[in-house]
Structure 1
Amino acid sequence: MAKLLAHPDQDKPVSTRKGFRAYVALCALAGLRKGEAAGVQVGDIDFLRRSLRVQRQIQRDRSSFKVVPPKYGSERTVYPPDELVLILSQHIKEHTPEGEPDRWMFTVGDGPLYDNAITWRWRATRDAAGLSTRLHDLRHFFASGLIASGCDVVAVQTAMGHASATTTLNTYSHLWPTAEDRTRGAASVLAKAVLGDSLRTEQAN
């Protein structure tokens, strides 16, 4: 993931990928869908509370775009890490420092980033990093990170904007520890508490 975040923005003075790093970070570190990340407006971000309101997505409409609610009615508030908040703050400062709160974070001309423009920028980013990662894989990366950190099903469902916990479980159940894993882990903690000194002595010998 570090390689992908290092390659979205080119060093060339004129580049259509300038500012794409923040878009990639939104997908990887907040789990937004492609259209949701494209639909973020500056006013959706509350920097004081470190929160982001997901309330629209951008879809292609023939040769243009349309703004619609998030998939499955999944309007939600996500709580990005400080690192992502900083990336978004820097993006606004560099690319859209002035304007109304409803201005788009990512643009093509006067409108929001959408569809082919996203796909082209993503492929260029992926190729520059020497990877074959799909854009949607960033969302899975986010979900797996939440699970690895101990988040429960409801927390992951809420963060991902899934319609139900069943969807979350059908997609990611294999990543959660099984009952056997939890039992073994709990017993290991108990064993170390009881046998810690003697185990260290045996290992030393």
Structure 2
Amino acid sequence: MSASIDDRWRDRNGKPTKRDGVGKRWMARYRPHTNAPEITKSFTKKTDAKDWLDQQTAAIITGLWADPKAGKVTFSTFAERWTARQIWADSTREGNETAIGSVTFADVPLGELRKSHLEQWVKSMHTRGLAPSTIGVRYSVVRSVLKGAVSDKVISSDPSDGVRLPRERRAAAAMTIPTPEQVAAALNDAAEHDPEFYAFIATAALVGPRLGEVAGLQVPDIDFLRRKVRVERQIQGTSRGNTRVVPPKHGSERWLNAPEELMTILAVHIEKHGLTEDPTHPGEEWIFGTGGYVYQRNSAGHSWRRVRERVGLEAFTIHDLRHFYASGLIADGCDVVTVQEAMGHSKPSITLNTYSHLWPSAEDKTRAAASKLARSVLADQARTRSSG
């Protein structure tokens, strides 16, 4: 770094200049690194100029320096450039662009962005009734953009540090899980009123794929002999003729171990209803479809809402069938890794964060072990007394 302080009222030989006595006298200048453009600032007092240069020097040494000119770019402009160089799946890109587009400070220069801007944005989302989880996801995306700006030396610090978010409900309170009786009621209703949707519900409830993963199943994905269902694609989109076939979330291609009963349901479904040849995807045949199109979020959601209204299950979404399956695995003693693999989670921590409240606690295990021991002791005691 090169730096200097010049007297604007004197030339290099110390003689008065034409602007003697006019404007700020002291010009501080520096280059942050070799071949970098020179950065200048004028001051009335020489001590102020020196203090400013000392601050810039310290920022460069500590790695906190940012180009003041770069900070003039607006958040939306930088976010557009930052987004363009990210490697994202289509679904991730759509969600992240939605998050970035929701900010209330799009036209604010990054150098002028303050924590208060982030707080006002979070408050506006909360006021509109967005779920705390949705607000948290959007905040994380925008925070990534700002960290990118810090990394690129556009700004020296992240203004999103310390922003408080609405508290999420505990998983135990937020999660709704239907009972086996309620799932049976939904299946019975679908069998009577919407037979094409019957096997869709059964697949979601009995092997636990995500909605888009169920919609993306094809005949080669069903191994009837080994009783397995392969997840290697999902359907995205919200309307007929506007769907995409993409890999599963987080690259979670996997085989699901299916009960024999589901294999029978799928075989009967294929025999009775045939396959769907969606014109949007020529050459592809789908196990599940309605009206000549593959199921997607809106059509599957519509069919599910009609079922649940008829049987009084308005409290449950179709995604809750996935929770139903996970809860069944846990109740039967499956460990975290087994449940993780079945649900297609990228990390065991995601499984634990989602379902930890369903696993027996240490107290539950201790109580169960003590009960088993007590039954053994008391049974032995009863045999001793009867023999005496």
TM over 0.5: yes
> How many Å separate the matches in 1 of 2:355 and 2:230?
24
| Alignment equivalent of 2:297, drawn from 115, 121, 124 | 115
Confirm or deny that 1:126 pairs with 2:308.
Answer: yes
- Summarize deviations over 1:82-122 as a string: whole Å, max 9, x none: 111111111111111799x9621012344421122111111
Matches within 5 A, 1:35-74: 35-60=212-237, 64-74=242-252
SS at match of 2:243: strand
Cα deviation code 1:56-90 (max 9, x no counterpart): 00001775100000111111100111111111111
Residue number in structure 2 paired with 1:3: 185
Give the match for residue 179 of structure 1: 362
Residue 91 of structure 1 aligns with which residue? 269
Shift of the 124–61 alpha-carbon distance from structure 1 to 2, 3 Å rule, reads closer
CA 1:197–1:45: 2 relative to 1, 3 Å = same
Distance 1:49 1:98, change over 3 A: farther
Name the amino acid aligned to 2:246.
V
Partner residue in 1 for 2:260: 82
Cα pair 1:43 1:102 within 8 Å, conserved: no
| Greater alpha carbon shift after TM alignment, 177-186 vs 76-85 | 177-186
1: CA distance between counterparts of 2:332 and 2:290? 36
Q: CA deviation at 1:200?
A: 8.8
Report if aligned partners of 2:276, 2:293 keep a CA contact under 8 Å in 1. no
Q: 5+ residue gaps in structure 1?
A: 12-16
Of residues 330, 342, 357 in structure 2, which corresponds to 1:147?
Answer: 330
Match of 1:14 in 2: none
Structure (1 or 2) with the larger CA radius of gyration: 2
- Checking the alignment, whether the CA contact within 8 Å between 2:223 and 2:229 is kept in structure 1 is yes
Q: Please say if residues 147 and 175 of structure 1, whose CA atoms lie closer than 8 Å, have aligned partners that are also in contact.
A: yes
Tell me how far apart the structure 1 counterparts of residues 345 and 191 of structure 2 sit (CA, whole Å).
Answer: 31
Report the more deviating stretch, 177-186 or 51-60. Answer: 177-186
Change in 2 beyond 3 A, CA 1:61/1:127: closer
Please state whether the residue corresponding to 2:212 is helix, strand or coil.
Answer: helix
Structure 2 contact 191–198 (Cα < 8 Å) conserved: yes
Q: Report the AA paired with residue 170 of structure 1.
A: N
Is residue 164 of structure 1 aligned with residue 347 of structure 2? yes
TM-score (norm 2): 0.47
**1:2-37 residue CA offsets vs partner (Å, 9 max, x unmatched):** 1011112445xxxxx331010001111110111000
Large movers: runs of 4+ above 4 Å = 199-202
**Aligned length in residues:** 196
Greater RCO (CA < 8 Å, at least 6 residues apart): 1
CA contact (8 A) 1:42 1:102 kept: no
Deviation of 1:201 (Å): 10
Q: Deviations over 1:109-142 (max 9, x none)?
A: 4442112211111111111212112111111111
Q: Cα 1:91–1:23, aligned 2, differ >3 Å: closer, same or farther?
A: same
User: Which whole-Å CA distance do the structure 2 matches of 1:182 and 1:79 have between them?
Assistant: 27
Give the TM-score normalised by structure 1: 0.87
Tell me which moved more, 175-184 or 145-154.
Answer: 175-184
Which residue in 2 is equivalent to 1:22?
Answer: 199
CA distance in 2, matches of 1:56, 1:72: 11
Paired with 2:228 and 2:331, the residues of 1 have a C-alpha distance of: 22
User: Structure 2: how far apart are the matches of 1:32 and 1:124?
Assistant: 21
| SS of alignment partner, residue 310 of structure 2 | helix
Partners of 1:84 and 1:200 in 2: CA distance: 46
Gaps of 5+ in 2: 1-182, 278-282
What residue number does 2:39 align with? none
Percentage of pairs with the same residue: 52
Following the alignment from structure 2 to structure 1, what is the Cα–Cα distance between the partners of residues 382 and 197?
A: 52
2: CA distance, partners of 1:136 / 1:200: 51
Distance 1:77 1:195, change over 3 A: same
